[in-house]
Amino acid sequence: MPDDDQASKIRDALLEQLQLQPKVGSQLGFALHQKWPELNMRSQYGGLRRFVHEFCAGSIEWRGKSGLDDIFGIPGQEPEAATRQSHTPLDPTYFRAWHAFTRPDYHDVAAINITGDLIVVDSKSAVPDGYKRVDGLTDENYREMARDFAKNQDASVASKLEAIIAKPKFWRDWLSALDGLALAPSWRRLRLQRLEQIVKTKLLAAGVQAGEANLIWLRLRAARKPETSESKAIRELPMAPYQISHLRDIAHLTIDRLSDTELREIRFPLGAMADAVTKFTSH
């Protein structure tokens, strides 16, 4: 159908979605994909936000960000609903789920039902009725990623990396080597791409629809760490009891994933560090 006619129909579909409350872009994109599976907003219109700016002036507005997601609404609409609808970077369930999917040694496991409701339970516990366990990545998954990454490097670099990969416990040496070779950024890009492929495949195998699996992945990515621009606001938020109880666990999880360079940048209270050193050397 002609572009103008298509744009008009897309605008009407968005208005229908936004009648009751503002929504995040991932929800709107999913609704559009269900209505027109062949529609690609990014390639055809430069993305949803640009489409709204060019074709929906006065009827739909961009409200800002919720985590990594854009918020859209009708002018004059109350904004709070969109925040409630989106899983923000502070969502503890999705934070724990990110680690359950990505850490082979994590003590929790994710479970999901056919509607896409994601929960996290102790890995030794049975999942509730109606939910399917979704196991996270294994050490071998990461070893395979590392092998593929090494294959694309120069011969001398590849040889060094492959020697590290062959170690039974290679992760810390691997991260340290990547830092020393200035390869950490390109490794992180590959790792994130592979994580997306593997996690989505696991969700689909558990019976989740493709569109919902995409939304879950976006929420997981948003929950893995707060955005830098939001860090001050996050520090000032009053923390609920369940967040306080998980702080120590969260700190350990974060430190375990840092490279040697990043570890050297962490700041600790001197007294706490002295106590830790004393305890460590007394063992």
Across all residues in the chain, what is the average pLDDT? 79
Q: What percent of the chain has pLDDT over 70?
A: 72
Task: Please determine, for residue 240, whether its predicted confidence score (pLDDT) is greater than 70.
Answer: no
- The per-residue pLDDT for 239 is 40
* Mean pLDDT for the stretch of residues 84-113: 77
Res. 274 pLDDT band, cuts 50 70 90? low
Q: What is the distance between the alpha carbons of residues 255 and 233, in angstroms, rounded to a whole number?
A: 22
The pLDDT tens digits for 181-239 are: 999 999 999 999 999 999 999 999 998 888 888 888 888 888 776 444 333 443 333 44
Res. 19 pLDDT band, cuts 50 70 90? confident
- The per-residue pLDDT for 201 is 94
Q: What percent of the chain has pLDDT over 90?
A: 36
- The per-residue pLDDT for 212 is 83
- Determine the residue type at 139: D
Would you give the end-to-end CA distance of the chain in angstroms? 74
Res. 4 pLDDT band, cuts 50 70 90? confident
* Mean pLDDT for the stretch of residues 249-255: 57
122 has which bridge partners? Answer: 108
- Determine the residue type at 149: F
* Mean pLDDT for the stretch of residues 140-145: 94
Q: For the chain, which domains are there?
A: 3-85 (1.10.10), 92-138+188-281 (no CATH)
Q: What is the distance between the alpha carbons of residues 143 and 202, in angstroms, rounded to a whole number?
A: 18
The pLDDT tens digits for 24-82 are: 888 888 889 888 888 888 888 988 999 999 999 889 998 887 666 788 889 887 654 44
User: Of 124, 123, 120, 130, which Cα lies nearest the Cα of 92?
Assistant: 120
User: Is the model more confident about 36 or about 261?
Assistant: 36
- Determine the residue type at 253: L
